[in-house]
Chains A and B, each alone.
Chain A
């Protein structure tokens, strides 16, 4: 690779990349993200390479392992260019047929095309799949066409153009003004105005300053940052370099949790490639500006996503938060001014510099600009990553893009913002999603996890589940979080176990209030949200647990019994699966008998019965 010594050289490099790429050449783009990897894309990629070579097409067809386009439910996913044919749920056994039929004969393999959930009609092109058409994909725009291991792919789509623009003609203060005017707010959870944070760090006292990228995404069900870092690491890196230039920092860190091995690998390679091109390191693009980035791997503590805990961890100390009465922008890493932003925040920066603050501010709501990536998971048909403009309704995300609830079940709630986000009920589905609206209803934007729940979820049990998660992740430094969550979990266990009283609910509410007001960091400070919103919007379920000793969703084991109905024809399936041998047959065509004393309420009989002869009461 040749080192680029000026913005013009970058433009010339891009021109030559464009020239050398034949737009008519066949390209097979296969998602290499973690979701598709779990569904066997590594095998599919290998099979494509082998089959293409065997058919003598190696010169004519390129196989590209791309970033994650987000439609994880349908993995392994792939597109065939230039026709933009979209195939889903591709397995190794399908590869030979795709090569013969599509690459050689130019026809589609219909069974691999996406079936529209409403009509069942097969959709040929990626650009027509409803999951994608209803999104506004800016950060994920090229994710299915960029090989994250190849910097040229990023440059092909204009990558590092924003950096060149910034270094060539913009002063640091101008950049900060641009980011401020764009209205960009931090995507990691807090929603603090990014430009203002940059400005404070720039003007903070100190020779040495740092920029930090927070890729310690630890929320259950969240994988926005992972996908961006895995699929388009250069967009994050470019944002960091621009930010460092604006702030006056020459050193940066990317803090990635070690459970994201592909993100660690791709970020590391991106740093190396950017350095080789002179886009990172000393004298970037001949500007005289130096900036070096190192990767630090996190040990898997949820609390290390909190900025001060993350910085403690970076320093090699135990990852515990400290009070932020003096901001990290003034005294952060090693007590020096430090600007920490989340992966998605950094990735937005090149878009803003390229297209202008006005363009960015034109997307979204009054208080929240731009798009937001959500990871849509739980009881929803189209599990995956969705990028939507701020202000879109929850209903549009869950039903139009997400395809609604599977199995003809009824929607009950959606939890936004991670384990300490609130549960939002059906009556608020038309809420316009942005930072302020989510907070107003008792939830939060958080990092962007969205967990959908249906009528089979007990909202008391869900509150207990998330409190249990947070209890396990509390660092234990401050008293309300450590002891408070422990007692909250005790109370919730009592209530779901049929031992709860009205007094327990009152005590729980008082505990929530103390955690909100007195916790040291946002982990404890937001932990009550699932409990408080569950109480606010699903009080009837709590009353049923406490007053009637009944779990309306039939989830809490202490409050349900399994029974065999008269229609049981003695097929014997439940007898086989029962781990406690609690079910005995009575004879031909006679209902089996369930011994309640032996039953541990595991639900295996209920799950296995095809005739709905096992009843839950």
Chain B
């Protein structure tokens, strides 16, 4: 355990924890867009910047999602400088995805009333902020890496290989659940699961429960679950509700 200070409070934190974890544990709000406990920290949105002073007296701004706690660390989660940078960052995002309600709400919370930058066409990025939560979840949680980030810099996009239907996607929808801006829209209708990704759409067939007759999971995901679990395919004939 290490002893440290966060916003004036003396706290203890376990070795290896990140500053963001400590803040959360003590109910201190730090805005984040690319952090999620299910996946490894990434440090792309930079909103979780905090002011730190080490016990040697070195003062700087760091991303709290990636900065490991240390003995004697003094953290300030809100300073004038931190707030100003967060406002600037969210204003940059507002210009990128003006159609995103989540970003507009966060901007309001961070004290940004609109953006000084020219707003892009909402149809250009479809609310995608390139936080890479979807791609990390697909790789680290599902283990499929069906989606990834392609191109460099301003051309960067979330994509499936060559924007064509991909074998690797099992239609589980993890990417849609984890997306902080609703940029991946998943709908189940007429025996099909449909994904509207920022730059392409995909459709998958759903399987019917042999007992109640409801569509309950994508066929590809069932095959994946059977393979992972070692259970026979018959095990997945019934939906979760109808199993004994």
Asked whether A and B interact, the reply is: yes
Q: Which of chain B's residues have a CB closer than 8 A to the CB of A475?
A: 152-153, 156
B85 at the interface (CB under 8 A from A): yes
Interface positions, chain A 472-492, Cβ under 8 Å from B, are 472-480, 482-487, 490
B154 touches A476 (CB 8 A): yes
Give the distance in Å from the alpha carbon of A511 to the alpha carbon of B63 in the complex: 18
Q: Does A1 contact B (CB under 8 A)?
A: no
Nearest CB of chain B from residue A257's CB, rounded to whole Å: 15
Contact of B224 with A by CB under 8 A: no
Which stretch in A187-195, A209-217, A280-288, A512-520 binds the other chain?
A512-520
Residues of A within 8 A of B151 (CB): 476
Partner of A518, one of B61, B118, B153: B61
CA gap between A514 and B130 in the complex, in Å = 19
Question: Which residues of the other chain, B, contact A477 by a CB distance below 8 angstroms?
Answer: 44, 132
User: Which listed residue (B47, B92, B130, B156) contacts A487, Cβ 8 A?
Assistant: B92
Asked whether any CB of chain A lies closer than 8 Å to the CB of B163, the reply is: no
B152 and A484 contacting across the interface, CB-CB below 8 Å: no
* Residues of chain A within 8 A of B67, CB atoms compared: 323, 325
Q: Identify the B interface with A (CB < 8 A).
A: 43-47, 49, 61-63, 66-68, 81, 84-85, 88-89, 92-93, 95-96, 116-118, 129-130, 132, 149, 151-156
Known: A479-B45, A480-B89, A517-B85. A325 touches B154 (CB 8 A): no
Task: Check A507 for interface membership: any CB of B closer than 8 A.
Answer: yes
CA distance A507 to B91 in the complex (A): 12
> Can you add 17 more A-B contacts, CB < 8 Å, to A476-B155, A482-B130?
A322-B43, A323-B66, A325-B66, A471-B153, A476-B149, A476-B152, A477-B132, A478-B45, A479-B46, A479-B93, A487-B92, A487-B95, A490-B117, A517-B61, A517-B85, A520-B46, A520-B63
Nearest-Cβ distance from residue B153 to partner chain A, whole angstroms: 4
Q: Do the beta carbons of A518 and B85 come within 8 Å of each other?
A: yes
Contact among B81, B129, B130, B152 with A301 in the assembled complex (CB-CB below 8 Å) = B152
Query: In the assembled complex, which residues on chain A have CB atoms less than 8 Å from the CB atom of B47?
Result: 479
Q: CB-nearest residue of chain A relative to B62?
A: A325
Q: Considering only CB atoms, which chain B residue lies closest to A303 in the complex?
A: B152
Cβ-defined partner of B44 (8 Å) among A479, A485, A513, A517 = A479
Q: Could you pull out 12 A-B pairs where Cβ atoms are within 8 angstroms? A: A323-B66, A473-B153, A475-B153, A476-B155, A476-B156, A479-B46, A479-B47, A480-B88, A487-B95, A510-B88, A514-B88, A518-B89
A-side contacts of B153, CB under 8 Å: 471-476, 482, 485
Q: How far is the CA of A475 from the CA of B130 in the complex (A)?
A: 12
With a CB–CB cut-off of 8 A, which chain A residues contact B45? 478-479
- Cα separation A63 to B72 with both chains bound (whole Å): 66
What's the Cα separation between A487 and B45 when bound, in Å?
16
Chain B proximity mask over A308-335: 1 for CB below 8 Å, otherwise 0? 0000000000100011011000000000
Tell me, rounded to whole Å, the shortest Cβ–Cβ distance linking B244 to chain A.
Answer: 46
Helix, strand, loop or mixed for chain A's interface?
helix
CB-based contact B152/A326 at 8 Å:
no
With A480-B92, A483-B95, A487-B117 as contacts: A517 and B154 at CB distance below 8 Å:
no
B88 CB to closest chain A CB (Å) equals 4
> Given contacts A323-B66, A517-B81, is CB(A479)–CB(B154) below 8 Å?
no
Q: Which residue of A lies closest to B34 (CB)?
A: A479
* In the complex, the 7 A-B pairs of residues with the closest C-beta atoms, listed nearest first: A476-B156, A483-B92, A474-B153, A514-B88, A476-B153, A323-B66, A518-B46
Q: Return chain A residues, CB-CB under 8 Å to B81.
A: 517
* Chain A residues numbered 451-495 whose CB sits less than 8 Å from any CB in chain B: 471-480, 482-487, 490
Asked whether, in the complex, the Cβ of A474 is within 8 Å of the Cβ of B62, the reply is no
Q: From residue A121, how far is it (CB to closest CB) to chain B in Å?
A: 51
Chain B residue at minimal CB-CB distance from A322? B43
CB–CB B156/A482 < 8 A = yes
For the complex, what is the distance from the CA of A473 to the CA of B123, rounded to whole Å? 25
Instruction: Find chain B residues with CB under 8 A from A514 CB.
Output: 84-85, 88-89
Q: How far is the CA of A326 from the CA of B67 in the complex (A)?
A: 9
CA of A475 to CA of B155, assembled, Å: 9
A228-273 CB contacts (< 8 Å) to partner B? none
Provided the pairs A514-B85, A514-B89 are in contact, do residues A480 and B46 lie with their beta carbons within 8 angstroms?
A: yes
**Could you say which residues of chain B place their CB within 8 Å of the CB of A474?**
152-154
Shortest distance from the beta carbon of B182 to any chain A beta carbon, whole Å = 18
B95: min CB distance to chain A, Å: 7
B156 surroundings in chain A (CB, below 8 A): 475-476, 482
Q: Are B44 and A520 in contact (CB under 8 A)?
A: yes
Which of the listed residues B88, B118, B154 has the most CB atoms from chain A within 10 Å of its own CB? B88
User: In the complex, what residues of A have CB within 8 A of residue B154's CB?
Assistant: 471, 474, 476, 482, 485-486
Does A479 contact B68, Cβ atoms closer than 8 Å?
no
Q: Which residue of A is nearest B129, CB measured?
A: A479
CA of A517 to CA of B47 in the docked complex: distance in angstroms? 12
